[in-house]
Chains A and B, each alone.
Chain A
Amino acid sequence: MTPVLQVRAVLALAQREFKGYFESPAAYVAMVVFYLVSGYLFTATLFLSNMATISGLAEAMPLLLTFLVPALTMGLLSEELKSGTFETLATLPLEDWDIALGKFLGFCGVHLVTVAGLAFYPVLLRLLAAPGAGLDWGEASGILLGLLLMGLMYGAIGLFASSLSRSQVVSFVIAFLFCFIFFMAGNLARFAPGAASTLMEFVGVDSHLDTLAKGVLDTRDLLYFASITFAFLYLTVVRLQSRRL
């Protein structure tokens, strides 16, 4: 049976989840860390290299997301499983897809808002830079898009990890491990022999982020993020269904 999404129920769930982030310190703490680090990276590059670019963000933000996203997603399902509210959700007229997507979209909202905040930097540069200094908008938007897509992919991984355990800590560790593998695969690719290197290069998130950070929109990269995101959403649903057996 093909599941038909109950869009309004999914949105209701997403909205609740989104609000929930801002009712607890979680989202604020994550955002503060996110902007502190990004602010440092931005100003450091700006003053050290004296260039109107936000390319500094592309350097360390991926590693930061590897920590932050699992922290934001760890409670999505594990908390419901622990408190038993999952039984309430699962006995409402909702498909498992509705539940997984609703939760995921709630996180997407928070991540979108966070990344959108980074747009402050290029806008600032545009205002401050000498006329003709030429901010590369393609590069800037590529970096932001890259961080956005990477966060969504990590979010799907985190959601899946959250469905695996009633413990938020366990969920965090599992999510972090998965995210770290995707993060490191690209970095370690050069040490691997031949074909393995190419494979690791492709599996790793780095190569795809790099292309985007150059301002190049390649469908292969978009497909990479989309397919891994979808794969982990799918795994989440499989996991939720297996809980009912």
Chain B
Amino acid sequence: MIRAEKLTKRFGDITAVDGLDFEIQVGQIVGFLGPNGAGKTTTMRMLTAYLPADQGRAVVMDLDVAEHPLEVRRRLGYLPENNPLHENLEVTDALHFVGRLRGLYDDKARTERVKAVVKTCGLGGVAGRKTGELSKGYRQRLGLAQAIIHDPDVLVLDEPTSGLDPNQVHEVRDLIRELKKEKTLLLSTHILSEVQAVCDRVIILNAGRIAADGTPDELSGSLQNKNRLHLSLKGPRDTVRSALASIPGASSVAGPAAWGKVSDAFVVESEASVDLREEVFRLASSKGWPIMHLSIEQLSLEEVFRKLTGSAEAGPGEGAS
């Protein structure tokens, strides 16, 4: 469990994190999303007791981070930004090293743990290689392996997939999905598909504040001011079109046009609060037009993200630059 209460951090005049309030339940996997400089890393550094908060407090597993920093760090696994590693260590040595510093003093038990995380993270093939010689994908796996060597309850991962190629991203995501089964997980990213792929919940940060908080679906739903229905009915085009336009609540009808694999697709718009699907069904069944396709368009998370965080960059006066 992770909780932030009015968490604030300033660097000189800049307020990097500005009164954050959020709570992450046990077993949840939450994505921190935001443009660079939104305060993701600073927040994570406060949660992991690397940086002290200027105001407010952070609580991890019911422990106040400021009061029990060591105990918090013991319970928590952390992958820092850019995944720094000791370059001249072999993979297994690096894991043993971190294991010992984590308090796994018993050689036998530690060896078992190292074996287990090498397996979990798919490091078997490179166990004897120097860290500095690893590819980025393997480095990232080693970083994750170091973060879970002590089997922590809470995992904080700062941009776990940055700089990886699509295959590696996929592998690391699979690994994260594997881990999420038993742990509370907070990860940061500026890749939207990542959040949609692995997270139960998204917290969008912008300029140190929470811009949005919800499931990926909720977020894309909440920002739509129009509902868009894509549908295709098997019937005479013109009649269908005018019949659709006459449905109460329908504000506009476009089409027919090909839309993906659906030919003769119409787009019917309505107010966000109005769901026209039932009306469309009644119309179709009364007229005897089979429904070939019916779907509600969702605003993609990408669009949500741009709407929420874009103002800072594309605000008035800056657009021209």
B84 CB contact (under 8 Å) in A16, A20, A84, A95: A84
A85 touching B101 in the complex, CB below 8 Å, given contacts A90-B50, A91-B49: no
Are B73 and A12 in contact, CB atoms less than 8 angstroms apart?
no
B50 CB contact (under 8 Å) in A16, A23, A91: A91
For B85, give the chain A residue with the smallest CB separation.
A85
A20 touching B88 in the complex, CB below 8 Å, given contacts A8-B100, A9-B100, A93-B73: yes
Are A95 and B97 in contact, CB atoms less than 8 angstroms apart?
no
Which chain B residues border A244 with CB–CB below 8 Å? 50-52
- Counting chain A CB atoms within 10 Å of each CB, which of B52, B71, B80, B85 scores highest? B80
B314 within 8 A of A: no
For A13, give the chain B residue with the smallest CB separation.
B101
B302 to chain A, nearest CB (A): 30
Are B52 and A12 in contact, CB atoms less than 8 angstroms apart?
no
Bound Cα distance A87, B70 (Å):
14
A92 CB contact (under 8 Å) in B81, B86, B102: B102
B contacts with A, residue count (CB < 8 A): 28
Are B80 and A87 in contact, CB atoms less than 8 angstroms apart?
yes
Are A9 and B84 in contact, CB atoms less than 8 angstroms apart?
no
A contacts with B, residue count (CB < 8 A): 24
Bound Cα distance A51, B179 (Å):
71
Which chain B residues border A93 with CB–CB below 8 Å? 70-71, 73-74, 101-103
Are B84 and A85 in contact, CB atoms less than 8 angstroms apart?
yes
Bound Cα distance A16, B96 (Å):
11
Bound Cα distance A9, B101 (Å):
5
Bound Cα distance A20, B88 (Å):
8
How many A-B contacts at CB < 8 Å in the complex? 65
Which chain A residues border B50 with CB–CB below 8 Å? 87, 90-91, 244
A50 within 8 A of B: no
B259 within 8 A of A: no
B311 within 8 A of A: no
B55 within 8 A of A: no
Are A92 and B97 in contact, CB atoms less than 8 angstroms apart?
no
Which chain B residues border A24 with CB–CB below 8 Å? 88
A91 touching B70 in the complex, CB below 8 Å, given contacts A23-B88, A85-B84, A244-B50: no
- Counting chain B CB atoms within 10 Å of each CB, which of A12, A90, A91, A92 scores highest? A91
A143 to chain B, nearest CB (A): 35
B186 to chain A, nearest CB (A): 14
Interface residues of A in 94-135 (CB under 8 A from B): 94-95
Bound Cα distance A6, B104 (Å):
12
Interface residues of A in 19-37 (CB under 8 A from B): 20, 23-24
B15 to chain A, nearest CB (A): 16
Bound Cα distance A23, B93 (Å):
13
A88 within 8 A of B: yes
Q: What sequence of 0s and 1s flags, for each residue 36-75 of chain B, a beta carbon within 8 Å of any chain A beta carbon?
A: 0000000001001111100000000000000000110110
Bound Cα distance A90, B82 (Å):
16
Bound Cα distance A9, B103 (Å):
7
Are A84 and B101 in contact, CB atoms less than 8 angstroms apart?
no
Bound Cα distance A157, B80 (Å):
29
A16 touching B85 in the complex, CB below 8 Å, given contacts A88-B80, A91-B48: no
B174 within 8 A of A: no
B70 CB contact (under 8 Å) in A20, A86, A95: A95
Bound Cα distance A30, B296 (Å):
72
For B75, give the chain A residue with the smallest CB separation.
A93
B98 within 8 A of A: yes
A245 within 8 A of B: yes
Bound Cα distance A86, B52 (Å):
16
Interface residues of B in 69-118 (CB under 8 A from A): 70-71, 73-74, 76, 78, 80-82, 84-88, 97-98, 100-103, 105
A2 within 8 A of B: no
Are A84 and B80 in contact, CB atoms less than 8 angstroms apart?
yes
A98 to chain B, nearest CB (A): 9
Which chain A residues border B98 with CB–CB below 8 Å? 88, 92
Bound Cα distance A87, B101 (Å):
14
A219 within 8 A of B: no
A-B CB contact pairs (8 Å), 15 listed: A8-B105, A9-B101, A12-B97, A13-B101, A83-B84, A84-B80, A85-B86, A87-B50, A87-B80, A88-B78, A92-B98, A92-B102, A93-B101, A93-B103, A244-B51
Interface residues of A (CB under 8 A from B): 6, 8-9, 12-13, 16, 20, 23-24, 83-95, 244-245
Q: A91-B73, A93-B101 are in contact. List 13 more A-B contacts (CB 8 A).
A: A12-B97, A13-B101, A83-B84, A83-B87, A88-B80, A88-B98, A89-B101, A92-B73, A93-B70, A93-B73, A93-B74, A93-B102, A94-B70
Top 10 closest A-B pairs, CB basis? Answer: A84-B84, A12-B100, A87-B80, A93-B74, A93-B73, A85-B84, A93-B70, A91-B48, A92-B101, A91-B78
